[in-house]
Amino acid sequence: MAIPAVNIVETSAVEFSHGAGSPNSLDGIDLKIARGEFVALIGRNGSGKSTLARHLNAILLPTGGVVRIKGMDTRDEPNVWDVRRGVGMLFQDPDNQIIGTTVEEDTAFGPENLGLSPEVIRERVRAALHAVGMADHAESAPHLLSGGEKQRLALAGVLAMGPELIILDEATSMLDPSAREEIMDLLRRLNREEGITLLHITHRMDEAALADRIVIMDAGRIVLGGTPGEVFSNASLIRELGLELPPVTELFDLLRQDGFDLPAGITDADEALEALMAINSGRMGHVHINQ
């Protein structure tokens, strides 16, 4: 029986190597993700982000340490099915996850493979398509959908499985700005209203800034973690790790370097406007340039 867990994800000293003599792709990963949390996982290419993600639904098993999902050790064979049922994954290219000839049929594929009754499958499909705004496309052919609509369909297929954790592995990287914004708004709503736990792997710092917490990986290790404000306050370290700052954070950091007395860790335009208004009103002092 699984151990009741407040944390949906718990890893302890996790290591992974592809074989004898190969360097570790993961090197001592300790990570906890609470139920209902929205975590962004960032890092340069090859840092181990996707390798870690594949450990969280038992696609890969650790060569050292332990991965527990809802208290279940992924190395225990009887747990694998339940782990995979509880963890959904959304990838870069939605075409790789779409197999049905209609939107409705594709969304039903996962629940059907769970052996659910036709009544339960119909309800899950209806609810999932409604949740992602695709109910009006139920009879449409997937190949006729836009990129954003295809990604919403792939997400509907994941939701219909009833996961508690959804991992997004660069799921917005192939979308145009409008579609990216739609997907991110949808994910935030699912997180806040449905309580679905999210782990969002992304190279886009503006998306990472929307999370409750950011975790940065480099060379198979976790090197920094905290709220977006806390993480992006470490501007010099972010750059050393080969990453960028969100545009507003970058602007404020450059102004601070030029001597302006501005707060660190600002991550979006609303925060920036609030900070500037506070300075202007005298609640945070006056902007000045150090001579």
Instruction: Evaluate the CA torsion angle 266, 269, 271, 272 in order and state its sign.
Output: positive
Is 158 inside a domain boundary? yes
pLDDT at 268 over 70: yes
Q: Whole-prediction pTM value?
A: 0.88
CB 134 within 8 A of CB 159: no
Is 110 inside a domain boundary? yes
The tokens for 98 are 């779409």
Query: CB-based burial of residue 22 (10 Å sphere; 0-12 exposed, 13-18 middle, 19+ buried)?
Result: exposed
Is 55 inside a domain boundary? yes
pLDDT band at 260 (very low <50, low <70, confident <90, very high): confident
Is 206 inside a domain boundary? yes
**How much of the chain exceeds pLDDT 90, in percent?**
77
Is 279 inside a domain boundary? no
Express each pLDDT in 107-128 by its tens digit.
Answer: 999 999 888 999 999 999 999 9
Is 2 inside a domain boundary? no
What's the pLDDT score for residue 5?
53
Q: Give me the CATH number covering residue 182.
A: 3.40.50.300
Is 287 inside a domain boundary? no
- Name the more confident of 33 and 257: 33
For the chain, the domain total comes to 1
pLDDT at 282 over 80: no
Is 70 inside a domain boundary? yes
Range of the domain at 17: 7-245
